[in-house]
Structure 1
Amino acid sequence: MSQEFTVIPPTTKVYCPERGEGWTLTGITGIDENASVMFSGVRYTISAKEIVESLLPNFKNRQESNN
């Protein structure tokens, strides 16, 4: 039942449609953690699951569509 998880380092860029581009302030070592993310100078605490499943793919997709 264990899932393989890739550690997400601090300052990893993410994208949220509501808040815009941001970056992680803390590293993520497990899917059940919460992490701090900075959007437009405001710090948010967001679940690692949301970051990994939504915000990271959003950023990657946005980067690819801009090229």
Structure 2
Amino acid sequence: MTLSGVLQEVPESAWFKSSYSGDTGNNCVEVAALAGRVGVRDSKVRSGPALVVPSAAWSSFVAFASA
């Protein structure tokens, strides 16, 4: 299965925004936990492209961003 096929099978309910994101729709990303990976997309363009990274890379990014 291709990566785009994997993303098409991710239900909308799997995507979520940070609790720091407001309801104004400005500058928000959504993430979805996938098998060993994390999907990241623009919350304003849900049907647009998504970035998929290994779970370990996402964890490293979050740790760096919160430091």
- Flag whether TM exceeds 0.5 (same fold): no
Scaled by the length of structure 2, the TM-score of the pair is 0.39
Question: TM-score when scaled to structure 1?
Answer: 0.39
Larger RCO: 1 or 2 (CA < 8 Å, sep 6+) = 1
